[in-house]
Amino acid sequence: MIAIIDYDMGNLRSVQKGFERAGHRCIVTRNPKDISNATHVVLPGVGAFKDCMDNLKNYGLVEPILNAIKSGKPFLGICLGLQLLFSEGEEFGIHKGLDVIKGRVVRFSPELRTPNSELLKIPHMGWNDIKIEKRPPALTDIADGSYFYFVHSYYVVPKDDGVIATKTNYGVEFVSSIWKGNIFACQFHPEKSQKLGLKILKNFGDIS
């Protein structure tokens, strides 16, 4: 059973439907017992970094998340669920994250431009491709250069390049997913990325 963590931030139902379409059973929950009993845990998220951290604390979810990661069960972070794993984020000031992955979450420069010198819009929104640096189980049968759906104004900067799974270019090359042990977390939205996104969700659910 896959537990999708509910902390009032994010498109939980679309993530749930994505897993169901990929053939996996899942529940949306904020019950620590459900998270502890789950075989896989998913941390989605849409919104502001500080608000999300505040909600995790207020619902008593920080410890269950850290325990799930320490237990070695497969853990998936999506969008803000990737960013929250990092040490700190700079959205509306400097705020502490879960500090599972050492590094920062920083904002895209407002001066980003295309190769033709056209100003790029922030947030980065829409389809973009990934460059695979190393292939975690979740990216099994996902071709280098595949396109996924993004919506974000901030991106992660890990201290250790060894955790980088994929990179993407949007005026600057940024880390679009990480892999460390039982953790795979992506900036893009698999649940909004059609066939290939569902393949990632299936791959993740298939990890034993």
Q: List the catalytic residue out of 24, 40, 124, 189.
A: 189
**Annotated catalytic, 191?**
yes
* Residue 131, Cβ density class (10 Å: 0-12 exposed, 13-18 middle, ≥19 buried): middle
Q: Exactly one of 24, 26, 52, 79 is catalytic; which is it?
A: 79
CB neighbour class for 69 (10 Å; exposed up to 12, middle 13-18, buried from 19): buried
Residue 189 annotated to the active site: yes
101's enclosing H/E stretch is strand 101-107
142 Cα distance to chain centroid: 17
Give, in order, the Cα–Cα distances in Å from 6 to each of 11, 36, 62, 72: 10, 14, 12, 21
User: What is the distance of C-alpha 7 from the center of its chain?
Assistant: 15
Q: Looking at the annotation, which residues are catalytic? A: 79, 189, 191
